[in-house]
Structure 1
Amino acid sequence: MKKILIHLLFIALVTGLGALIGVANVPGEWYQSLAKPPFNPPNWIFGPVWTALYVLIGIAGARTWLAAPASACMQMWFGQMALNFLWTPAFFGAESTALGLAVILPLLLSIIAFIRMSWNPDRLSAILFLPYLAWVGFASLLNLSLFLLN
């Protein structure tokens, strides 16, 4: 029962904080006015994708916490979450593609580091991060394109 509660807590915290940050930093007129690359997805896709990713990230975080709460892997998980939660205010809140890029590239590296660190002790947590890696890789390319186009 304790494991289930920890999983639910991690999922609720990650998705809840992510939603709160998203609501506080809604893409507005500034974002709409940017020149966008042809591969820019429609705005409606971001909410469902991030919700699904936050559930996977929460599960991986709970698994890592249950296995070794003071481990380097757990510290990396918290570090990537800090960068994840910082990107939206940096990009949308500060209305800065450059600042967004300065946050998303270390985020991408921290996701890769978490996957590498968890691969042997908890392969499932590493695998749960693969869709997240793919999405943040795509988001990094999109952020870079927005920086270059504007």
Structure 2
Amino acid sequence: MKFKPLAFIINIAIPLGIGYVGSIFTAESVKTWYKTLNKPSFNPPDSLFAPVWTTLFVLIGISAYLVWQKRAQIENFPRTVAIYLIQLLLNLMWSFIFFYVKKIDLALFEIIIFLIVIIINARVFYKIDKTAGLLFIPYILWVSFATLLTYNIFILN
């Protein structure tokens, strides 16, 4: 397939844009409320989150581009897009619930659903393009870790 630079950039810009909006909900809370929470010993330093999420959003965008390139061959492309957009929305909602609304219990419930939808998205993408599905593995691992972290923050607070 021929490389389409504009489509590639747009597909990467979408998850990065979602991440940027999420950072708006997060920024103030990280400096104030989040610092007051009891956290487990394995809580990473705050400085790690932005580069990890940026990397993950780029991988997600590349994955989406690979699927987009095969859109004509996908039996139900709108369904595939819907699953992808739902997991991006759930990503954004977690930041909103946890950092902006400050509801750790609701964020824990939401991140479990979010993780399930990411796994579904990865499987759907994998069936279309193996590389696209495999690019979701770091995302699944990180959100699994974030789920464990959210659970522990919930328990400790």
| TM exceeding 0.5 | yes
Do 2:15 and 2:60's aligned partners in 1 also have CA atoms closer than 8 Å? yes
- Find 1:129's aligned residue among 106, 130, 136: 136
The count of aligned residue pairs is 150
Do 2:67 and 2:128's aligned partners in 1 also have CA atoms closer than 8 Å? no
Question: Is 1:80–2:87 an aligned residue pair?
Answer: yes
Instruction: Tell me the amino acid that sits aligned with residue 149 of structure 1.
Output: L
Give TM-score scaled by structure 1 length: 0.92
* 1:1-150 equivalences in 2 (<5 Å): 3-26=4-27, 27-68=30-71, 70-150=77-157
Tell me, in whole angstroms, the C-alpha distance in 2 between the residues paired with 1:136 and 1:105: 9
Detail structure 1 runs of 4+ shifted over 6 Å in the superposition.
none
Structure 2 residue runs without a partner (length 5+):
none
Deviations 1:43-66 (A, max 9, x none): 000000000000011111222223
| RMSD of aligned alpha carbons | 1.7
Structure 1 residue runs without a partner (length 5+):
none
Give TM-score scaled by structure 2 length: 0.88
Do 1:65 and 1:74's aligned partners in 2 also have CA atoms closer than 8 Å? no
Instruction: Tell me the amino acid that sits aligned with residue 33 of structure 2.
Output: W
